[in-house]
Amino acid sequence: MGKLIHLVHQSLDGFIEGPQGEFDWPAMGPQLSAYSQDLTPEGTLFLYGRKVWDLMAGFWPNAEQYSDDPHDLAFAPVWRKAPKVVVSRTLGTADHNTRVISVNAAEEIAALKAAGHDLVLFGGSELAAHLTERRVIDEYHVVVHPVVLGGGRPTFPPSLPRTELTLLETRTFDGRSVLLRHGLNS
């Protein structure tokens, strides 16, 4: 049985993007970069909702043209090689070794897990909420960054029903960010 990890970067006040949609605030130092690399060994499926997919597909295929950040340079070839899944009701096809799921997302992802695939869901509050309600996510890896955004898109929508979790680990990265790793209660 595979496992689904939800990896999300959030502000101290609980937002995954700022009031204008900005995502320029996560501090990807060497320790956090290494951690994210460790979560995505070869064969791991990268999972995205449509909004995050658009950001990723617009950056990672040519990241070296836009950035000289060590994290970006190390992760770009990993991203290009990794098999990817995007959940979208409006996207018909996608490039970059990507499968599109347009209906029955929770069931399709559960089937991938049952077939032995490990997946990492990167961000995506709507898809994360959908999968949380259906108890498909096994672990939540929430990285809290030292910034208050004052508004934006919350990590989890307020409509999400109560979900009990178990704290599995806390860790500090690069003297700045804090990991809160939780598992789904049985």
Query: Tens digit of pLDDT for each residue in 31-63?
Result: 999 999 999 999 999 999 999 999 999 999 999
Coil, helix or strand for 111?
Answer: helix
The superfamily CATH assigns to domain 4-119+127-184 is Dihydrofolate Reductase, subunit A (3.40.430.10)
Nearest to 120 by CA among 140, 106, 101, 102: 140
In the numeric block, the tokens 């860790």 are attached to 171
Query: Distances from the Cα of 89 to the Cαs of 44, 77, 93, 101, 112, in angstroms?
Result: 23, 28, 11, 8, 19
Q: Which two tokens stand for residue 33?
A: 């970069």
Q: What is the pTM of this model?
A: 0.94
CA distance 186 to 182: 12
User: What residues does each domain of the chain span?
Assistant: 4-119+127-184
CA distance 158 to 58: 29
What does each of the 186 residues of the chain score in pLDDT, given as a tens digit?
A: 999 999 999 999 999 999 999 999 998 899 999 999 999 999 999 999 999 999 999 999 999 999 999 989 999 999 999 999 999 999 989 999 999 999 999 999 999 999 999 999 998 899 999 999 999 999 999 999 999 999 999 999 888 899 999 999 999 999 999 999 999 887
